[in-house]
Amino acid sequence: CGKSTLARLVSGIEKPSSGSLLYQGKTVDFKKSRKDIQLILQNPIESFSPRMKIKQFLYEPYHYFYHLNKKEVMTAIKKILEQVGMDEACLEKYPHELSGGQLQRISIARALIIQPQLLICDEITSSLDQVIQRDIIELLKQCVYKYHMAILFVSHDLSLVHEFCHQVLVLNDGKIIEKGTIQQLYKSENEVVQNLLKAAYLNG
């Protein structure tokens, strides 16, 4: 229906074939907004080089954006790991040595280092079990209030949408067919939305 495509367009990974993208009322300049808009992918392993240790993955944004020395970087890394519930023992490990939930926490940590104004989460809990899903959602909630950022949360799981999102857009064939609060969504008479709600009810 276009959810992930929208996420990749907003983050600048893909370019629109027509139309325009506006951010804060202006056409997006991705070179200038690279720090303001960050994307976390559905499959966390795609974000990592298999030859790069976790400490290198977290070191890069501190080095490129803040020009900190190694001692300052390590102090900052330990602090951000604590915020996402990870132990510094993970720093010497390679991506394949961590679980999907742990990698997703590291992905969130890296995004938070850059202090984006908009964090795009593209189905980031879909490959995780329900317990880990809830942990990640709680972590994102804390991030919203701590860092005062907005989150574009892409998901097909209405239970997570209900718990996390203030405003909802329903896409079908790349077009918005419904928007509003989750409560307004439940009252929608749109056939596609009704089928979505029924599917969510049956799966729940």
Residue type, 122: D
Lowest mean pLDDT segment, chosen from 127-131, 135-139, 143-147, 152-156: 127-131
* This prediction's pTM: 0.86
Can you list the domains of the chain with their CATH numbers?
3-165 (3.40.50.300)
Angle 54-61/100-113 helices, nearest 10 degrees?
Answer: 20
With bands split at pLDDT 50, 70 and 90, how would you rate the model's confidence at 153?
very high
Q: Which of helix, strand or coil describes residue 156?
A: coil
Q: Are 147 and 115 in contact (CB under 8 A)?
A: yes
pLDDT, tens digit, 9 for 90 and up, residues 97-135: 999 899 999 999 999 998 899 999 998 888 788 888 888
What's the Cα-to-Cα distance from 141 to each of 20, 66, 134, rounded to whole Å?
Answer: 30, 26, 11
Cα–Cα distance between 86 and 103 in angstroms, integer?
Answer: 10
- Token pair for 175: 């077009």
Is residue 159 pLDDT above 60, yes or no? yes
**Interval 34-74: pLDDT, tens:** 788 899 988 888 889 999 999 999 998 898 888 888 889 99
